[in-house]
Chain A
Amino acid sequence: MALGCGVVFAGTVLMRSIDRSMAVGFTRLGADLMVVPEGALTNITAALLVVEPTDLVLDAGLLDRAAIASLGRVAAQKVVRVAGSGVGGQFEAVDLVGFQPDRDFTVQPWLVERINRPLQPGDVILGAGRDGALGAQLLIFGRPHTIYGRLGRTGVGPHERGLFLPFASLEALAPAIAAAAGGRSPPALAPGKASGFLAELAPGASPLEARFALLSSVKGIKVVSGDSTLSGIRQGLSALLGGLLVLMALMVAGLALLVGVLFSAIVTERRGELGLLKAIGARRGQVLGMMVTEAMLVTGAGGVLGVGLGVLALRLFERALVRQLDAVGLPFAWIGPLDTALLGLAAIALAAAVGALGVFVPAWRASRRDVYDLVRGEG
């Protein structure tokens, strides 16, 4: 039980940590596909993080309506390149990137520093190439915005020098941008419009399959694929983690079966004691309660020991691998101490529950036997 519980605890902590590391690491790799208006120019980079500024637009709800099964997460972006915004040099062209905070998966994962609160309307995120103190005010076309955070270096041009705002904040700048541009507002700033979409593939789907599905069901679009190797790794690791979960569930089920057999033997061994307790007046519920409590204490203690062993195993893992990964610049994101403690408690509770389940059936059957047979050890 201790070993099983240790494996479950350490395995779950590791899986959640790997998952978390992946969430940070892989989302930073960008999208698998970019969907832009047909005719829009695209600048293919190693990672698909932002769409290119263009005057062509698509409906922001286009892909939601199309409901392509081979696509996972989809986030729309509005990108406009403006001059005279008041940010940077006087004639510097600045890319203003509008994103959907609740759906975005290519901008926010790159935040390396931010104010300790959720993103709000009126906030702006700076690309890695721009200066500004967190919480300071930044005037964009004369309108005040709070610098919410800064992105890490991506090597993707528009990302490095861009300013990132929620859709609503960027749309609110449309009149000022139009005034600066001689009365013409970029089409992408119209509500309900987007410059393009960044999309992830659904598990098991191939880029070719998604491209075909998109082009056959949505007119007037161009589909740009990212690095297929990275997509493959992301999908493969997701499948591996799923497989590990199934293996762990099977291990727990096997452990429960083993504990059940063990407790069945223990109950048989102790039938004289159970019979005696019933003879002197213990009720069936009392006998059952006693057996279940004992089993929970024993397996729960095994669980405590297992969590201790799991902590040791995680320490060893940290010494053996995580520090080396850190040294070569690959961060490993452990889950927080509270989550780890909760997982430890859950593992102990699971061990106790396995004990309770394992003993319940044999104890219940024994409690229904003829008391005299139990007393004589024949039940």
Chain B
Amino acid sequence: MLSCRGLHKRYRTERGEIEALAGVDLDVAPGTFAAVIGRSGSGKSSLMAMIGGLSRPSDGTVGIDGTDLWGLSDDGLAEFRNRRIGFVFQFTSLLPTLRLVDNVALPALLGRRLGQRAAYERAAVLLDRVGLADYRAAYPAEVSAGEQRRAVIARALVNEPALLLADEPTADLDEQTEIEIMDELLAVNCELGTTLLLVTHNLALAEAAEQVVHIAGGRIVP
């Protein structure tokens, strides 16, 4: 389902060109929990950004269910991200001026696949699922970091994506909350069959993965 071929990413800096990814080939089967691990600066976040349609590769292709992601138009890519990919970033990524329920419903409203009423009903169901039923009307600043991260997971699921990308989703959380968030992600993978690609530098988190990809110096290493 996920197929990357010859992915390169080069950045121009004042000190010259830096190659963040130097020819990555990767296949992930549907419904798999895959972990991409590596040290800081190894290129794992760049890989996730290219797989998620967030950063254009310098070379190479990303295919998801047969669609060449970077062959799509700008609007086509936006629509693909909206319908097929869910994101959980390493930082709090909720809009602070919207309630949790608004934040969760937002991708559905942007995609216009669901009406407003249906989008909010689904957002409420997902908030219930992640244990935030009592916080629908709360603003992000009124809940804890772990609860914010759960709301982000709910938002990522609102359009029933085929692929869930989690980039260091527990980086700034305490140990107990980290376990809760990982449990939530694993439940999504197991119960909904959503492909989960977890980017982390924490080897312990990757232990539960069915497929582990090591990256070092912009290359996949054994």
Contacts and interface: CB of A to CB of B under 8 A. Distances in A.
Contacts of B53: 371
A114 interface: no
> Which of A279, A285, A370: most chain B Cβ within 10 A?
A279
B221 interface: no
Interface of A: 273, 276-286, 370-373, 375
Contact of B54 (A282, A286, A371): A371
Contacts of A285: 75
A266 to B, nearest CB: 14
B89 A280 contact: no
Contact of A279 (B52, B74, B111): B52
B82 A372 contact: no
Contacts of B49: 371-372
Contact of B81 (A281, A284, A373): A281
A283 B111 CA distance: 9
Contact of A370 (B54, B87, B93, B107): B54
Contact of B74 (A277, A280, A281, A284): A284
B118 interface: no
Interface in B59-91: 74-75, 78-79, 81-83, 87, 89
Contacts of B204: none
B111 A281 contact: yes
Main secondary structure of the interface of A (DSSP, over half): helix
B75 A283 contact: yes
5 contacts: A276-B95, A280-B155, A281-B79, A372-B49, A373-B55
B56 interface: yes
B89 A375 contact: yes
Contacts of B52: 279
Contacts of A283: 74-75, 78-79
A12 B107 CA distance: 46
A280 B79 contact: no
A279 B78 CA distance: 7
B34 interface: no
B106 interface: yes
Contacts of B106: 280
Contact of A281 (B56, B78, B89, B93): B78
A373 B107 CA distance: 20
Contacts of A278: 78, 81
B94 to A, nearest CB: 9
Given A276-B95, A371-B54, A375-B54, A282 B89 contact: no
A373 B55 CA distance: 8
A282 B55 contact: no
A279 B56 CA distance: 13
Nearest to A287: B78
Interface string B95-107: 1000000000011
Given A273-B95, A284-B74, A375-B89, A279 B110 contact: no
Nearest to B82: A281
Contact of A284 (B78, B87, B89): B78
A281 B155 CA distance: 12
A85 B56 CA distance: 95
Given A370-B56, A372-B55, A281 B95 contact: no
Contacts of A277: 110
Interface string B29-60: 00000000000000000000100111110000
A278 B110 CA distance: 10
A284 B77 CA distance: 11
B107 A280 contact: yes
B75 A280 contact: no
